[in-house]
């Protein structure tokens, strides 16, 4: 089976009110259990805000580190789930469920298959 990355696209700004966030977290937990029960789960997790990022880039042979995100934007990857699915259609079915659970856009990308 191929592996797919389901990225949660999160807007910048304040999180939703506690009651809304609590429902989202319950729905995300239920989705994670459903993915595990189906044998499609590989890994999932949430990310700290972009302000906690450190970018390492090579410049003239030296590795330079910069605090903060690589690119400024109104959205960022807030979390991800890596799943196993037989094809893109099956991965998109999980992404639809993830979008409902998180109430946020979900980007689906396949991993390259090892030769």
Which pLDDT tens digit goes with each residue over 63-103? 999 998 777 788 999 999 999 999 999 999 999 999 999 99
The three-state secondary structure class of 89 is: helix
Please report whether residue 31 resides in a domain.
Answer: no
Give how many domains the chain has, as a whole number: 1
With bands split at pLDDT 50, 70 and 90, how would you rate the model's confidence at 14? confident
What's the length of the chain? 115
| Angstrom distance (rounded) from CA 111 to CA 19 | 35
Q: Does the residue 62 lie in any domain? A: yes
Per the CB < 8 A criterion, the answer to whether 110 and 36 are in contact is: no
Residue 76 · residue 6 · CB < 8 Å? no
- Which residues constitute the domain of residue 54? 2-14+41-110
């Amino acid at each position: 089976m191929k592996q797919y990355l389901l990225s949660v696209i999160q807007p910048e700004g304040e999180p939703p009110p506690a009651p809304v966030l609590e429902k989202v977290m319950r729905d995300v937990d239920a989705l994670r259990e459903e993915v595990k029960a189906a044998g499609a789960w590989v890994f999932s997790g949430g990310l700290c805000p972009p302000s906690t990022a450190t970018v390492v880039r090579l410049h003239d042979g030296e590795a330079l580190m910069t605090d903060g995100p690589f690119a400024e934007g109104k959205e960022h990857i807030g979390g991800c789930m890596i799943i196993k699915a037989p094809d893109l259609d099956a991965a998109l079915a999980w992404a639809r469920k993830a979008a409902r659970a998180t109430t946020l856009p979900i980007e689906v990308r396949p991993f390259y298959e090892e030769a």
